[in-house]
């Protein structure tokens, strides 16, 4: 994926692989669930899943124009202006986050910048940006935000709604360079000759993004219809032990016991942390079982050619963290990579057979 164009993209099918979560030690890797999973999960029919998603074969000229504008914004300079904020202006503000009447000081952001309409905004910034159009320096706006329901990542704020308040200090208008042949020729790590080449790359990037969005939309619909009947004890213990060991290692680095580390850095008790560890384990095991059972029902197999191409694609997404492909494979382990690729192949096959619904029909 071309580097500048990748500003539009945000998807990567590394279901188990995440730098923000405890890795699975190589010593504990094995074939996933070498027993009958029908006692643990019940899945809906994967053929023709109805879901809402954009047509992955259609890209309008307007979408290409907006895609180019998003890329060009990353090369813009911003100058202080008078008057109200407009789309693509940069708004400098202080952001305060309240849970009920309590100010969450660790969420406070001073001299924060939000570029209105920028595609890479965080969900919290995007919620505020929707209320900033038409406001000027000295104005205040507010917006609600609900944290995702993932307690092992968001802790006690998971699933809770906060009120954000932004005090605007200045509005800055963008000076976007012209998108001409001379500009696109200078884009780093690219070989564009003309604006037409650039537009075609943006078009393909948008289509790729829509294809990825379709997979996520279909997966969410399928997941909503899947039921977990029971959690296998071995896998639950494995993930809970890994989760606790991960933070025990951090505590030792800070020369603290686990209880003191949890209290100082997470304001959490051991009991609260063990609850998060269990919820983390349940989330991982649930997804693993559903992915695995789906792949079995589909009869998905992976050729060596698909494996080599797949790990190369995975590596390209994370190569900033690894010097070589061999180092990447050694870090995660071939078992994990193969299983992720089988799951990925199964999901894409299911998505290709999905039935696209219009939002009103859904």
The pLDDT-based confidence of 167 (bands split at 50, 70, 90) is: very high
Share of the chain above pLDDT 70, in %: 90
Domain holding 126, by residue range, is: 76-175
Q: Are residues 136 and 162 in the same domain?
A: yes
Whether 131 maps to a domain, the answer reads yes
Q: Are residues 234 and 89 in the same domain?
A: no
Looking at per-residue confidence, does 171 or 10 come out higher?
171
Q: Are residues 170 and 31 in the same domain?
A: no
**Statement: residue 2 has pLDDT above 70:** no
Counting Cα atoms < 13 Å in the Cβ hemisphere of 194 gives: 3
Distance from C-alpha of 31 to C-alpha of 342, rounded to nearest angstrom: 12
Exposure of 55 by Cβ count < 10 A (0-12 exposed, 13-18 middle, 19+ buried)? exposed
Return the HEC string of 16-36: CCCCCCCCCCHHHCCCCCCCC
User: Using one digit for the tens of pLDDT, what is the confidence trace for 41-92?
Assistant: 999 999 999 999 999 999 999 999 999 999 999 999 999 999 999 999 999 9
Out of 142, 175, 208, a domain closes at 175
Q: Are residues 216 and 319 in the same domain?
A: yes
Whether 191 maps to a domain, the answer reads no
**Statement: residue 5 has pLDDT above 60:** no
- Total count of domains within the chain: 2
Q: Are residues 209 and 346 in the same domain?
A: yes
Q: With residue 136 as reference, give the H or E element that holds it.
A: none
Q: What's the CATH code of the domain at 82?
A: 3.10.50.40
Whether 347 maps to a domain, the answer reads yes
Exposure of 241 by Cβ count < 10 A (0-12 exposed, 13-18 middle, 19+ buried)? middle
> What's the token pair of residue 122?
């965080």
Q: Are residues 139 and 272 in the same domain?
A: no
Q: Are residues 205 and 346 in the same domain?
A: yes
Task: State residue 156's pLDDT score.
Answer: 77
Distance from C-alpha of 137 to C-alpha of 167, rounded to nearest angstrom: 8
Distance from C-alpha of 78 to C-alpha of 90, rounded to nearest angstrom: 7
Whether 39 maps to a domain, the answer reads yes
User: Using one digit for the tens of pLDDT, what is the confidence trace for 344-353?
Assistant: 999 999 999 9
**Statement: residue 294 has pLDDT above 80:** yes
Q: Are residues 80 and 55 in the same domain?
A: no
pTM of the predicted protein model: 0.79
The Cα-based distances of 180 to 62, 64, 291 in angstroms read 18, 15, 46
Whether 193 maps to a domain, the answer reads no
3-state secondary structure at position 40: coil
Whether 301 maps to a domain, the answer reads yes
Q: Are residues 169 and 90 in the same domain?
A: yes
Whether 65 maps to a domain, the answer reads no
Distance from C-alpha of 135 to C-alpha of 132, rounded to nearest angstrom: 5
Q: Are residues 219 and 352 in the same domain?
A: yes
Q: Are residues 44 and 120 in the same domain?
A: no
Task: State residue 4's pLDDT score.
Answer: 33
Q: Are residues 345 and 237 in the same domain?
A: yes
Whether 69 maps to a domain, the answer reads no
Mean per-residue pLDDT over the chain, rounded: 88
Out of 140, 175, 210, a domain closes at 175
Q: What's the CATH code of the domain at 322?
A: 1.10.3120
The Cα-based distances of 149 to 160, 236, 289 in angstroms read 8, 20, 20
Helices (H), 150-257: 151-154, 181-185, 195-225, 233-253
- Under a CB-based contact definition with an 8 Å cutoff, are residues 18 and 330 in contact? no
Task: State residue 11's pLDDT score.
Answer: 35
Within 8 A by CB and 6+ apart from 90, the residues are 78, 113, 114, 115, 116, 171, 172, 174
b/e map 295-309, b = 16+ CB within 10 Å: bbebebebeeeeeee
């Amino acid at each position: 994926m071309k580097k500048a164009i990748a500003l539009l993209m945000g998807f990567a099918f590394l279901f188990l692989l995440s730098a923000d979560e405890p890795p699975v030690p190589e010593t504990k890797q094995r074939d996933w669930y070498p027993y009958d999973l029908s006692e643990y999960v019940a899945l809906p029919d994967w053929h023709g899943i109805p879901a809402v998603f954009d047509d992955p074969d259609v890209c309008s000229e307007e979408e290409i124009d907006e895609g180019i504008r998003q890329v060009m914004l990353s090369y813009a300079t911003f100058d202080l202006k008078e008057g109200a904020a407009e789309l693509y202006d940069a708004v400098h503000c202080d952001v305060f986050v309240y849970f009920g009447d309590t100010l969450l000081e660790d969420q406070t952001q001073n001299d924060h910048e939000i570029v209105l309409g920028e595609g890479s905004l965080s969900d919290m910034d995007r919620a505020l940006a929707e209320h900033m159009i038409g406001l000027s320096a000295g104005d205040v706006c507010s917006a609600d935000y609900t944290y995702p329901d993932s307690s092992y990542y968001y802790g006690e704020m998971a699933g809770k709604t906060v009120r954000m308040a932004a005090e605007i200090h200045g509005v800055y208008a963008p000076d976007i360079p012209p998108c001409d042949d001379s500009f696109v020729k200078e884009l780093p790590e690219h070989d564009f000759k003309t604006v037409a080449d650039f537009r075609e790359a943006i078009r393909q990037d948008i289509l790729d993004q829509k294809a990825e969005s379709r997979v996520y939309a279909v997966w969410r619909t399928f997941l909503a219809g899947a039921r977990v009947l029971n959690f296998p004890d071995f896998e639950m213990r494995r993930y809970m032990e890994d989760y606790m060991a991960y933070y025990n290692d951090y505590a030792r680095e800070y020369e603290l016991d686990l209880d003191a580390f949890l209290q100082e850095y997470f304001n959490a008790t051991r009991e609260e942390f063990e609850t998060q560890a269990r919820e983390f384990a349940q989330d991982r095991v649930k997804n693993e079982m559903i992915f695995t059972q789906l792949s079995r029902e589909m009869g998905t197999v992976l050729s060596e050619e698909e494996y080599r191409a797949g790990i190369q694609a995975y590596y390209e997404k994370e190569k900033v963290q690894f010097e070589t492909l061999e180092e990447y494979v050694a870090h995660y382990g071939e078992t994990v990579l193969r299983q992720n690729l089988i799951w990925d192949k199964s999901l894409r096959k299911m998505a290709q057979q999905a039935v696209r619904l219009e939002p009103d029909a859904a």
